[in-house]
Structure 1
């Protein structure tokens, strides 16, 4: 089942006007408030934590999501990294927050599954920049002018990145073998001081016996990235995410931030989630087989209840175009964990090689000179 762009309900919007002066409000990370930078107005935003309702994946595959779980949103598509960035009704994007490529293409209104939950930003842009600069400071081989350009104070973009989470009840039957290691003494021929001798040594042997059984596992919030605009190695490295703190979707948390539309369909995301689940199930089976070693012959998994939700997770982005290339740095908007491209300066590397060669030559000269 695929979702094509369609007309429908009014486009989603997370823009809020100040009731005092009419300026745009923004959500202040850490403070939990909407604030007006013009007149100082503040409004607390409440998180609704607890069990977030989920959608039945099989029902969605058969007939599509319920109309109440759909929304229309306006996106621009980056021609370089493929990111779909949501815009307000009167907003225009000039640059992709993911790769700093100029954007001119407006894809119009698209229909997508609504987010069911989000993790609000906890750290501010200033805190994210401090974390990024600290990370850059450890990159001695990075080009100095790129590091200075990145530290120059250019604004970082706060973006809510789309993810899918999957819950599943599974029951797996298996057959395999349980290996028990035991040791026995055996005469072994060895060489001692040039002579062949026979010594008794402990040798490990494994006795295999058939094993079969059944394991059950409840999977909760198996997390899968819903877009391909950022390298997966970056987003995986931003984990862990405190998914227990997810709260029901509240557009006010998005005020002043960007939101990326998902480009990975929910069915495709489930295939990745199933691979993650299979790895956990195999570990469960090995524990159930027991013994010192295990061999798994057959696995048969039945999946019962299967649900999902669309969630938004906060990421601070800095994308720079430097000498014709894009360099991206990402910061977990909750923990401050940093990941990014690691550019290398050929001049710095060459300098280190030259220094090492000079040191080696000096050491060799001293050693040779000492013999005379």
Structure 2
């Protein structure tokens, strides 16, 4: 069977690409988006160019139509990307660049890049936190790593540039209607007197027992889901994705390449169909909780649950992170900072020396406590 997603994931060679460049009207240098503002700014002369933020609701695409290849040309774009062989990140390259370091794992990228045809983003959250603020959040997080090697902390805390990257996500909206059958359990408590032995004497004591009485239950529940968020990347571990959440999706703006000026973007590595499988699992979990509440009682059993999905749409959105990736003693380590909230997650090695010292100190304290107890007796 043909893959219905082949069109969106096709790699096309020798295709003219649209390059987004925003020259400074004062000096001609490249403008870049200034986090926390609505301006493009010139690092060379200081000129600021206001961005008229695009207003209006973000456009939703029909998932079932997309599955049949019904994605219009206006919803597709071509970008120049290279795939990292170490972490799988699909990194966008600027024109004329053929060698870089992967921002996700610090592995070298030297490749003959081509054009990647994929679904255009419908929206983005602009960078809110500037690089220095992100570095301060990273330093604070590193300060809590007691058993990390000291030279690692010094290296990672140094005034090294962080990479500002837009990470791809999918959001899904769905109208669901569910039917269920099950059982409602009500707990009943009984108290009775039973003989017990207390200090060699027989006495009567109250003992409470409980039993669950089950009754058939059935019904219907409805739930409309809005912006169920699923990562479109495979380059960040799930614990990273979970740790830097949540995202203020109510602040999403319609896609405008000016907000990407001076930053990089990762192309999605998971198709919208793969993302929907994860989104559906999230929806099913919520629907199950709705059913349990609808059944009521003290306990619930669900024997059958059928869900019909009506309107089903999706969006491709870009969310901003600051990232530091480097190699330490032959291994890659990453730190990620949510560029909206400052939440940090990262990887860390352990210092055998510090752990050994802590173990020795712990033994000394334990021996001291034992000696005090013996001397007091």
TM-score scaled by length of structure 2: 0.95
Q: Is residue 2:227 matched to residue 1:221?
A: yes
SS in structure 2 at match of 1:294:
strand
Correspondent of 1:245 among 242, 251, 274? 251
Shift of 1:40: 1.5
Q: Please tell me whether the aligned partners of residues 77 and 106 of structure 1 are also in contact (alpha carbons under 8 angstroms).
A: no
Q: Is residue 2:236 matched to residue 1:230?
A: yes
CA–CA separation in structure 1 for the residues paired with 2:99 and 2:37: 28
CA–CA separation in structure 1 for the residues paired with 2:348 and 2:82: 28
Q: Unaligned 5+ residue runs, structure 2?
A: none
Q: Please tell me whether the aligned partners of residues 162 and 313 of structure 1 are also in contact (alpha carbons under 8 angstroms).
A: yes
Greater Cα offset, 109-118 or 78-87: 78-87
SS in structure 2 at match of 1:120:
coil
Q: What per-residue deviation string (whole Å, max 9, x for no partner) do you get for residues 159-182 of structure 1? A: 000000000000000000111122
Q: 1:32 to 1:364 in 2, by over 3 A?
A: same
- In structure 1, the residue matched to 2:159 is 153
- In structure 1, the residue matched to 2:75 is 69
Q: Is residue 2:207 matched to residue 1:201?
A: yes
Q: Please tell me whether the aligned partners of residues 193 and 207 of structure 2 are also in contact (alpha carbons under 8 angstroms).
A: yes
Q: What is the correspondence of 1:251-266 to structure 2 with a 5 Å cutoff? A: 251-266=257-272
Q: Is residue 2:280 matched to residue 1:274?
A: yes
Q: What per-residue deviation string (whole Å, max 9, x for no partner) do you get for residues 39-77 of structure 1? A: 111111233344211100000001241111000100021
SS in structure 2 at match of 1:214:
strand
Shift of 1:110: 1.0
SS in structure 2 at match of 1:79:
coil
- In structure 1, the residue matched to 2:335 is 329
Q: CA RMSD in A?
A: 1.6
Q: What per-residue deviation string (whole Å, max 9, x for no partner) do you get for residues 116-158 of structure 1? A: 0000000000000000000000111110000000011110000
Shift of 1:81: 0.4
Greater Cα offset, 183-192 or 301-310: 183-192
Correspondent of 1:120 among 121, 126, 131? 126
Q: Please tell me whether the aligned partners of residues 12 and 114 of structure 2 are also in contact (alpha carbons under 8 angstroms).
A: no
Q: Is residue 2:28 matched to residue 1:22?
A: yes
CA–CA separation in structure 2 for the residues paired with 1:238 and 1:49: 27
Q: What is the correspondence of 1:8-47 to structure 2 with a 5 Å cutoff? A: 10-47=16-53
TM-score scaled by length of structure 1: 0.96
Shift of 1:280: 0.2
Q: What per-residue deviation string (whole Å, max 9, x for no partner) do you get for residues 289-336 of structure 1? A: 111111111000000000001000000000110100111000001000
Q: 1:104 to 1:64 in 2, by over 3 A?
A: farther
Correspondent of 2:186 among 177, 180, 184? 180
- In structure 2, the residue matched to 1:339 is 345
Shift of 1:93: 4.2
Shift of 1:344: 1.2
CA–CA separation in structure 2 for the residues paired with 1:61 and 1:256: 34
Greater Cα offset, 61-70 or 86-95: 86-95
CA–CA separation in structure 1 for the residues paired with 2:196 and 2:59: 69
Q: 1:279 to 1:8 in 2, by over 3 A?
A: farther
Shift of 1:111: 0.2
SS in structure 2 at match of 1:328:
strand
CA–CA separation in structure 2 for the residues paired with 1:30 and 1:316: 14
Q: Please tell me whether the aligned partners of residues 61 and 315 of structure 2 are also in contact (alpha carbons under 8 angstroms).
A: yes
Q: 1:234 to 1:140 in 2, by over 3 A?
A: same
- In structure 2, the residue matched to 1:362 is 368
SS in structure 1 at match of 2:101:
coil
Q: Is residue 2:117 matched to residue 1:111?
A: yes
SS in structure 1 at match of 2:174:
strand
- In structure 2, the residue matched to 1:83 is 89
- In structure 2, the residue matched to 1:320 is 326
Shift of 1:198: 3.4
Q: 1:194 to 1:4 in 2, by over 3 A?
A: farther
Q: Structure 1: which 4+ aligned runs deviate by more than 4 Å?
A: 7-10
Q: Please tell me whether the aligned partners of residues 78 and 105 of structure 1 are also in contact (alpha carbons under 8 angstroms).
A: no
Correspondent of 1:287 among 287, 293, 305? 293
